[in-house]
Amino acid sequence: MAESDAATTGQTAAQEIDTTVPSIARAYDYILGGKDNYAADRAVGDQIINNLPGAPVIATDNRATLIRVVRQLVTEHRIKQFVDLGSGLPTAENVHQIAQRHDPEAKVVYVDNDPIVLAHGRALLEENENTTVLQADLRDGKEIYDNPATRALIDFGKPVAIILSAILHHLNDDEDPASLVQYWVDKIPSGSYVFISHFRSLNDPRSVEIENVLQASFGRGRWRTDDEILALFDGLELVEPGIVACAEWRPDEPLDDELTDWQRLIVAGLAIKP
Ligand SMILES: C[S@@+](CC[C@H](N)C(=O)[O-])C[C@H]1O[C@@H](n2cnc3c(N)ncnc32)[C@H](O)[C@@H]1O
């Protein structure tokens, strides 16, 4: 894990970044083995890893699945537009890099409420006119949908992929994640896709512990049951193989080994709007 402090950030956003308060984006970056994190983030990351030693596996399985999904969306479903909500800090492979590798004209809007994501995203995207990063709260779908920067890239009259990767479990029940998904389902045309990956509870006592750590650190975090996760896809048709452990979502190579208990604690599903 990285011991260094976060890499240099852009001037404006850096002024807003409070490095003494842990952030979900930076703690996740730490768990993924990144360098864009501070002591407060590493303290929460270590607490999560102590309670759930499989946290790095969960994070890397999630990220690898996102890569496979985006590749499939571009190459098999011919999707050319992506809105990635709760996109996180740039890491080894990001949605725009995967999509634009297969279709250089693919458009990507990244949305995250953490200013550090904006700072790093801007630096990464300086010369990419098909990609933008917005600092916005995904609980305010209208602000994102109406934002001129979104509209400059995304034509909501044509199929779009809405990416909700490892983000809805950071919303509490009273924030109604299902309504948030529904907002976007109502905005996108038939033939569009929604991808969701989510912590799965399986009644594992360790997930209850982690829920407590997440609530204490960030005031949010929910591990949901299979039924609760399925309900998030209301009105959509799941694409094969349905909602499965991330590692089982169309792996590039056949899986030789049984999944570990950790790997069963994060699931993914891709669905089409009929
Ligand atoms: C666990 S990371 C997931 C990153 C990426 N989607 C992935 O799957 O690798 C969750 C991200 O959601 C962001 N986030 C949390 N709450 C948010 C909100 N209300 N609005 C926008 N972004 C949010 C965090 O800042 C963080 O970057």
Domain boundaries, the chain: 11-272
45-74 per-position pLDDT tens digit: 999 898 888 889 999 999 999 999 999 999
Nearest-5° Cα angle at 14, 123 to 22 = 110
Place of tokens 């946290």: 55
Look at residues 267, 213, 208 and name the one whose alpha carbon lies nearest to residue 242.
267
Please tell me if the CB atom of residue 41 comes closer than 6 angstroms to any atom of ligand 1.
no
Please tell me if the CB atom of residue 63 comes closer than 6 angstroms to any atom of ligand 1.
yes
23 alpha carbon – ligand 1 mean position (Å): 10
How many angstroms separate the CA atoms of 179 and 196, rounded? 14
Please tell me if the CB atom of residue 170 comes closer than 6 angstroms to any atom of ligand 1.
yes
How many angstroms separate the CA atoms of 172 and 156, rounded? 28
Tell how strand 266-272 and strand 244-245 pair up: antiparallel
Please tell me if the CB atom of residue 24 comes closer than 6 angstroms to any atom of ligand 1.
yes
What integer is the mean pLDDT of 83-104?
94
State the DSSP H helix or E strand holding residue 61, giving kind and residue range, or none if neither: helix 55-75
Mutate to test the pocket of ligand 1, among 137, 165, 167 (most ligand atoms within 8 A of CB): 167
pLDDT of residue 206: 76
**130: Cα within 13 Å, side-chain hemisphere:** 16
Examine the pLDDT at 11 and tell me if it is beyond 60: no
Q: Topology of 11-272 in CATH? A: Rossmann fold (3.40.50)
State the DSSP H helix or E strand holding residue 117, giving kind and residue range, or none if neither: helix 115-125
Mutate to test the pocket of ligand 1, among 89, 98, 142, 170 (most ligand atoms within 8 A of CB): 170
Tokens of 264: 């069963």
Place of tokens 């080994």: 257
Task: Outline where DSSP puts E strands in 27-165.
Answer: 81-85, 107-112, 131-135, 161-165
